[in-house]
Every structure is written in C-alpha cells, then in structure tokens.
Amino acid sequence: MDFSLTEDRQMLSDSLTRYLREKYPMEVRNAAAYAEPFHAPAHWQGLSELGALYALAPEEAGGFGGTGFDVSVVFEALGGALCPEPVLAALMAARLMTAAGEDQEALLSGAVKYAVAIGEIDAWYDIGAVGTEAVTSGEGHALTGRKSVIYGGQVAEKLLVAAKLDGKVALFEVAAEAASVTGYGMIDGGGAAEVVLDATPGRLLIADAGAALADAVNAGIVALCSEAVGAMDALYAMTLDYLRTRKQFGVAIGQFQALQHRAVDMLTEIEQARSITIKAAAELDGPEAGRYASMAKNLIGRAGRLVAEEAIQMHGGIAMTWEYPGSHYAKRLVMIDAQLGDTDYHLSRMMAA
C-alpha cells in the first residue's frame, strides 16, 4: 500500500501546476474560456510540450503513461487551475485509438485536435441508445444523425463518432470539415459543439465498439473526477482564506461555529471524493472499471455541488460576482456533474450491477 506519487508523476504534476499558475492565471483563463475558440491555442501548445497529452497514453501507443493514476495527475492539475483546454477530448480519443490500433502521434503531440462524439439529445450517456446511423456507402460508410454538446468539438479537426452499424454501436473517424459543426462556449468556460451528420463520410475504426467506448467513458470519468478534486481543493482553500480574513460583527467570520462545522463537512466530503477517485483510477484497467467509475462519478457529483454551494454561501455576495475567481470554480464543479453521466445516472448503474 502506498498513497504517494511516483517521482515521475510528481514531477509532471509540479511542472503542469507551475505552468498553469504562471502562464494561465485566472484573467488569462477567463479571457480564453469565454471567447472563441474557447481555449488558448498557445497554452494548448505549451501544455502539450510539457507532456500533458503523452502522459495519457501507454508506451505501446506512443505515450509515457496511460494508467488511471497518470490520468489523475494531469487532470487534478488542470482542475486546480480551472483549465478550459480540450484535454478530456484528447484523453478519450487516445483511449479509442489505442483500442483501434491507430497511430496517435499527431494527437499526443497536440498537432491535431480530436473530439469524441457519443452523446445525443435523447441519449446523453447510454452508449447502447445512440440513434446516429451508419450505412455502407461505396468503399466506406456514411453517417446520419445529430451529436450534441460535444466537448472540444468547437476546435477539433477530427471527430470520433459512435453510430449504429448493423445493429451494433461502431466507431468512425469523421473529418470535422465534412460535418456541420457549430461551436459555442459553456457557462463554466471552455467550448463544445453541435455536430450534424447527413450522409457524412466516415472511416470505420471499430465495428463493435461497445467495450472501447465504455473504456473511453470510464477513463473520461476518472479524468473528470480528478479535475473536480483539483477544483474542490482550490475552491476550499479560497473559502478558508475568506473565513480567516472577512470580518463581521468585529471578528473573522471563521470564528462562528455555524460556519466552522459546515467547513469541516466540506473537508470530509472532499476527502471522500479524493478517496473514491483514487479507487476509480486504480481500477481503470481492471474488470470492474465501470462499477468504480460509477461510484466515483456519483460521489463527485454530490461532493462537487456541496462544495460549490457552500463556498458561495459562506463567501456571501462576493461569490455571486463574475469578478471573483471562486464563482468560476463553483460553476465548473456544478456543471461537471452533467458530463459523462450525472449523479442519478451512475447511481442507477450501480443498482443494476
């Protein structure tokens, strides 16, 4: 049993954290996160050069990591800085391309941006329920359907699309320029896209892709949970700092027991969230990855909302402003629940298992 980071992962964590703190502070972040293209190309480049993407893939796929703990280290650092770069899309694409045996040097170097298109308006989370259809067309395939709220889709050059082929969910590579892609920004920063496919040509990567897609989602969940842990730590530190410095009735408000006990409850839930994320990361390549990913996403959904809502309440009016950095952390922590399966979805998945 060992709960410390290996030296390599600690170095990666330190270098990403330092880069984000120095080069991507909140004012830079907000400028990038809320204006087209809803990320900062220079910092995408910078993070790629530090190895943030190579860390997401195993050596045999051209990376230098790829385990759940590698994913965790990268995303916890991103979450701490509320980084809006489309790294989640890259991670999920890398998992899929590893499964498909595709070369991914262009992805891992950051040269080509990918997005993974699974969710639809009537099937946000359930891979088996996708309605997009693929048919054979000449040498290749043609895809028809609509993919909705595709994170990173606003800047992706390539889309990895889940579509039904002969009754099974298959995976296709689609050139973004061949589809109708409409990008937009998100309330919690960063960007996504609506992708409309109308007999759009696609290259078949995996004919029966259910397992590969489930793996990509599990990895994505470990990433989102780790991102949330990083963001919770940051927002909690801000909240404690505020409790120490904000004075009312002549004393720092942290002297009031009503707030102290609630602050302790936040700490308890953050530690529980960290624990379940560690567990999900440890199990990512094991036979029960889905079960532990569901546990983690459920708990993160609850803890993230608690930390966000309590942080806002304890800060009072200042946390209701756009100007205060904490408000952006709170938004991310609430909205992260809706990505890759929310609290209730994963609870029912647990019950079914």
Kindly report the CA angle at 215 between 212 and 216, in degrees rounded to 5? 90
Taking the complex as a whole, the smallest distance from the CB of residue 351 to another protein amounts, in Å, to 4
Q: According to the binding rule CB under 8 A, does residue 288 interact with another protein?
A: no
**In the block, residue with structure tokens 């499964």:** 99
Q: According to the binding rule CB under 8 A, does residue 7 interact with another protein?
A: no
Q: According to the binding rule CB under 8 A, does residue 261 interact with another protein?
A: yes
- Where does this chain touch another protein (CB under 8 A) — which range of 88-96, 173-181, 218-226, 273-281? 273-281
Q: According to the binding rule CB under 8 A, does residue 264 interact with another protein?
A: yes
Q: According to the binding rule CB under 8 A, does residue 265 interact with another protein?
A: yes
Residue choice 50, 112, 175, 263 for contact with another protein (CB under 8 A): 263
**Which residue from 294, 106, 267 is spatially nearest to 259, judged by alpha carbons?**
267
Q: Which is nearer to another protein, 106 or 264 (CB)?
A: 264
Taking the complex as a whole, the smallest distance from the CB of residue 265 to another protein amounts, in Å, to 8
Taking the complex as a whole, the smallest distance from the CB of residue 329 to another protein amounts, in Å, to 19
Beta strand 158-165 with 114-117 is parallel
Taking the complex as a whole, the smallest distance from the CB of residue 301 to another protein amounts, in Å, to 11
Q: According to the binding rule CB under 8 A, does residue 273 interact with another protein?
A: yes
Q: Which is nearer to another protein, 204 or 267 (CB)?
A: 267
Residue choice 45, 180, 313, 348 for contact with another protein (CB under 8 A): 348
Please list, in sequence order, all residues whose beta carbon lies within 8 angstroms of the beta carbon of residue 158, skipping any fewer than 6 positions away. Answer: 93, 112, 113, 114, 115, 173, 174, 175, 176
Q: According to the binding rule CB under 8 A, does residue 252 interact with another protein?
A: yes
Q: According to the binding rule CB under 8 A, does residue 342 interact with another protein?
A: no
Q: According to the binding rule CB under 8 A, does residue 347 interact with another protein?
A: yes
For residues 7-16, one letter each, b for 16 or more C-beta atoms within 10 angstroms of the residue's C-beta and e for the rest, the string is: eebeebbeeb
User: Do residues 293 and 218 make contact, with C-beta atoms less than 8 angstroms apart?
Assistant: yes
Q: According to the binding rule CB under 8 A, does residue 271 interact with another protein?
A: yes
Q: Residue 166, class by beta-carbon neighbours within 10 Å (0-12 exposed, 13-18 middle, 19+ buried)? A: exposed
Q: CA 203 → CA 83, 95, 212, distances in Å? A: 32, 17, 16
Q: CA 126 → CA 24, 34, 215, distances in Å? A: 35, 29, 13
Residue choice 88, 91, 142, 276 for contact with another protein (CB under 8 A): 276
Q: According to the binding rule CB under 8 A, does residue 246 interact with another protein?
A: no
Q: Which is nearer to another protein, 114 or 292 (CB)?
A: 292
Q: Which helix (H) or strand (E) holds 248?
A: strand 247-248
Q: According to the binding rule CB under 8 A, does residue 58 interact with another protein?
A: no
Q: According to the binding rule CB under 8 A, does residue 4 interact with another protein?
A: yes
φ, ψ for residue 58 (rounded to 5)? Answer: -75, 165
Q: According to the binding rule CB under 8 A, does residue 281 interact with another protein?
A: yes
Q: Which is nearer to another protein, 45 or 260 (CB)?
A: 260
Q: According to the binding rule CB under 8 A, does residue 351 interact with another protein?
A: yes
Query: Which residue blocks in 36-131 are alpha helix, DSSP H?
Result: 41-49, 68-80, 87-100, 105-108
Q: Give CA–CA dist 26/231, Å, rounded.
A: 13
Residue choice 48, 98, 154, 298 for contact with another protein (CB under 8 A): 298
Q: Which of residues 67-126 bind another protein (CB under 8 A)?
A: 69
For residues 31-53, one letter each, b for 16 or more C-beta atoms within 10 angstroms of the residue's C-beta and e for the rest, the string is: ebbbeeebbbeebbebbbebbbb
- Sequence letter at residue 7: E
Q: According to the binding rule CB under 8 A, does residue 278 interact with another protein?
A: yes
Q: According to the binding rule CB under 8 A, does residue 244 interact with another protein?
A: yes
Please list, in sequence order, all residues whose beta carbon lies within 8 angstroms of the beta carbon of residue 206, skipping any fewer than 6 positions away. Answer: 96, 99, 100, 170, 171, 212
Residues of the shown chain interacting with another protein in the complex, contacts defined by CB under 8 A: 1-6, 9, 69, 240, 243-244, 252, 254-255, 257, 260-261, 263-265, 267-268, 271-273, 275-276, 278-279, 281-282, 292, 295, 298-299, 347-348, 350-351
